[in-house]
Chain A
Amino acid sequence: MAHPQIAAFARLAKENTKPNRLIAGQKTRLSRTMHDIRYDAVNDEFFVTNPFARAIMVFRGGADGEEAPIRVIQGPKTQLVGVDRLDVDTVHNEIYVPNDDSILVFARNASGDVAPLRVLKGPDTGLDAAGTLAVDPINNVFVTARDTVLSGEGARSRLLIFDRTASGNTKPLRVISGPKTGIIRVNQLQIYAPKGWLVATMPGFYDMQEPDGIFVGIWSVHDNGDVAPRWKIAGPKSLILKPRGVAINPKDKEILVADMRQNAVLTYYFPEIF
């Protein structure tokens, strides 16, 4: 991708609608390949990662133009390796980062070269190239998964559900895995905590332009084992080709899906989960 940026569109924007705001430029410290963005409504801030500079950046909610982040977490003490995605728990004021073979948890207002508050790591965790995560402060869990699987690999990703406060070499509480799940690899995750619904993007094999087996799947955070998603959004009407990003808007009962093959964001009215 030639040009990094964050574009903010009106919720009702359609094809070719100009963004309300564009955040770009050297001072922003953004890079391309930003694979997560989380808006914190309590503190009116949003969080993104810069995987090349191994940093977490926090911006004012209304950031615009070439605006610098208000906080940056970066440096040798952070243990950040492949910081690609993250989630923010605004109830317990923590940032969760999937970090390959570990999960790092930072204070929400951490800044600079700081050590994580907790680290989940070890053979019992089952973590395997953890690349995506969502945290649920109501049901007290977080869910993580591997985000990259090539077509030649026999392995498939799985959804590992941990106690929210897990640290050290702790086993997951539950694992959603197996052929009935339809999971190949998992990209951005969201949890609608009041109902415990886990919404996951499934973009199929990494190295295929328009792979089979793509969908947006919705499970309960209480699910376990080889279980199909409760709902599976896919098919020709959905227009989904390669879903990578997902966000939820409970107020309007909408699920937003970022489709990389179309360079598009698709909005679905989906009252079932709200």
Chain B
Amino acid sequence: MSGRRRFSWRSSGALLGLLGAAAGLLIFGDATTVNWRAASEAALRKPAGGPQLVSVEPFPAMEMEGEMCQWTPASASEGLFEALQQGSLTQPATAPARASQDVDRAPVRQIRDTYATYSAIALDLNTNEVFLQDENLFGIKVFDRMTSTPPGAQFSEPKRMLVGDKTKLEFNCGLYIDPKTGDMYSVNNDTTDMLVIFPRNAAGDIPPARTLKTPHGTYGIAVDEGKQEMYLTVEHQNSIVVYRKLAQGDEKPLRTIQGGGTQMEDPHGIALDIKNQWLFVANHGNARVRGADGTYGRFDPPSITVYPLQSSGEVAPLRVIEGPNTQLNWPASLFMDEERGELYVANDANDSILVFRATDSGNAAPLRVVRGPKTQIKNPTGVYVDFQNNELWVSNMGNHRATVYERTANGDALPKRVIRSAPADKLALAIGNPGAVGYDSKRDEILVPN
């Protein structure tokens, strides 16, 4: 707001007052004089026939002080004199002039993480490469399997990466690498509602080789290579959709597993046991219940539900792993070791990897738990087992790292190698799809939900 304009508005107010008083004298004449005299006498003053100081009263503060610029178009050239000449200020008050002001102003601060944050992980054992889903900067980074970031290094550079608008990668959480072709299947969890597929050596800002329109809120991916079928979990629908592996465009799913009887509740990770024809799903426990008066919500414990692989429709689980002994706490990705009958769980909010027997049911304790400060596991959401090299891989949302262990690691195990994409002391902010922001005026804090 310029001082000049503010002065102009206030001056015009004063002049309006004077004009009004003069007009009043002319119009109302004696009656007004009588009233003034009476008022003066009441105040123990005598009429002097000329102006005298009656009282001093500052102009009232403008109702919207400091905000009046927007009422006057920036292009306005009319000054007070011109306004008075045109009589506009002597007309009855109307709604103030209204204008829109475009403001291209730089932010004074930004809260964001400038480093990669890894949601999912997969390996191509033909090329000895590890693929990491970067959900913060929306890309896929590819490292040599043996990459190991020295403790003093800032970070490791990837061999190549996919990133940019053309890739259509956004909130990419699930990842599958075709064991023969090396094609990358990337699940976009939110906003774009599509699966994007790239060839093995894709790099830079390139469009996907093909895309598949998927339901909103897809998360996990698993593929039955024998049947060439692709399974996706859908958070928003509490469902699994099964497509042809090579489906693209608007192709519809071959079948859907869905309904209250399935006990799927905010499904995340998915794993297949082809040998036993089982399907495993990790659930956060956000349930929807069909009642007599409609559908409502309910909080249930986290669980792993197991179904026959060829299920369709509203199928009850064969068994459910659930209860305090399981240590499940926001279970994310799953990985199946068919050979040994072991199910790996990236246990996000417990900073752990849990290993269950494939046949476990109910309130079962895990066979092994990888957890503790030496592990460097922090908010793990991706897990992969490399049977060729007997290694367990973990992608950690909480600390910009992928960590590698012996396949049989248990307890507070040291990683064999660490791929780190930020300085060691940087905690990942893990801001993801911030749809809202709040301000805590008591603590002077900014609240950011994912």
Contacts and interface: CB of A to CB of B under 8 A. Distances in A.
A193 B292 CA distance: 41
A34 B349 contact: no
Interface string B86-128: 0000000000001111111111111111110001100000000
B104 A237 contact: yes
A269 B107 CA distance: 7
B342 interface: no
B189 interface: yes
Contacts of A8: 440, 443, 445-448
Contacts of A12: 109
B63 to A, nearest CB: 9
A35 interface: yes
Specify the main secondary structure of chain B where it touches its partner: loop
A41 B434 contact: no
Nearest to A21: B445
Contacts of B288: 52-54
A33 B190 contact: yes
B437 A20 contact: no
Contacts, number: 329
Interface residues of B, number: 95
Specify the main secondary structure of chain A where it touches its partner: loop
Given A10-B444, A260-B191, A19 B436 contact: no
A96 B237 CA distance: 25
B170 to A, nearest CB: 6
Interface centre among B64, B70, B109, B110 (most CB of A within 10 A): B109
Interface residues of A, number: 101
A37 B438 contact: yes
A80 B448 CA distance: 23
A13 interface: yes
Interface string A91-131: 00000000000000000000000000000000000000000
Given A195-B67, A268-B105, A271-B66, A3 B430 contact: yes
Which A-B residue pairs are the 10 nearest by beta carbons?
Answer: A235-B104, A54-B297, A264-B112, A228-B100, A52-B286, A34-B449, A1-B432, A2-B119, A25-B349, A37-B438
9 contacts: A3-B330, A6-B450, A10-B445, A37-B437, A53-B287, A54-B295, A81-B295, A245-B434, A263-B433
Interface of A: 1-21, 24-26, 29-39, 41, 44, 46, 48, 50, 52-55, 61-62, 66, 72, 74-76, 78, 80-81, 85, 187-188, 195, 206-207, 209-210, 227-239, 244-249, 251, 254, 256-273
